[in-house]
Structure 1
């Protein structure tokens, strides 16, 4: 039951933060990414504020732990090299994010807004996930 409550609380905080900060607004995100045009720097303050809160908590509470709050073991990647697969995936992700201004986390957080574009985006994202699993089997 504790795991469920932790998941509900953190999901609620994440979704609320994404919506209040307007990180779910594709136009705001696209303008943030458009540094040579109509740049909107407001999301830099959102990211900066998140880092100001996260970094001390990470070093004091998260990093020293071997288990997450929900009791599961924390597993860190042992991969230390940049592989072509990682670089290609990062490039594809960046292109998709830059084209539409929608990142997967904020897309999930904006599901209840009822915008058809979000549903199409999430459906396409799931199809891309499925396709990549089939290709890189």
Structure 2
């Protein structure tokens, strides 16, 4: 049942990305171009998503447990550290250069736009390299501890 719910949630999310225009890198880049051909329409998409998320969290936290799990899986880390800031900066730089973030990039993949066909493999390579680097750093810090 969890797989079906996950699939349906992903489908709705993907459709939302396509309908909102976030799967179109030109629209995203125009949103980021404040002093050129600025397109503020994605601000409304993000605002709507923020309101929906706020309401959803308020309703969800009233429950003793999620509908399809025994407990909530909430990150425990609360500190702002170098890996978090580095990851956020890399995400923002990649979004600004490519016009994609991971969700919309995967949603746009079936359109086979040349930018998408370059971005998605580069993103997957970056995820793989980042995982390898993290594992190597954990081994190094574990060996010196």
Work out whether the TM-score is over 0.5: yes
1:77 to 61, 67, 75: 75
State the match for 1:29 in structure 2.
Answer: 28
Instruction: List gaps (5 residues or longer) in structure 1.
Output: none
- Could you tell me which residue of structure 2 aligns to residue 8 of structure 1? 7
**How far 1:101 moved relative to its partner?**
0.9
Alpha-carbon distance between aligned partners in 1 of 2:70 and 2:88, rounded to the nearest angstrom: 28
2:118 match: 120
68-77 or 15-24, which deviates more: 68-77
Deviation at 1:104, TM superposition (A): 0.5
CA RMSD after TM alignment: 1.6
Larger Rg: 2
Bigger shift: residues 111-120 or 11-20: 111-120
Contact 2:22 2:28 in 1 (8 A): yes
Which 10-residue stretch deviates more, 79-88 or 113-122?
113-122
Q: Does 1:58 align with 2:74?
A: no
Q: CA deviation at 1:65?
A: 3.6
Task: Please list every run of 5 or more consecutive structure 2 residues that lacks an aligned counterpart in the other structure.
Answer: 136-145
Number of equivalenced pairs: 135
Conserved 8 A contact 1:15-1:110 = no
Q: Secondary structure at the match of 1:110?
A: helix
Task: Tell me the TM-score normalised to structure 2 length.
Answer: 0.84
Which shows bigger deviation, 85-94 or 70-79? 70-79
| Cα distance per residue 1:29-60 (max 9 Å; x no partner) | 01111122221000111111222222112101
TM-score scaled to structure 1, two decimals? 0.88
Q: 1:26 to 1:59 in 2, by over 3 A?
A: same
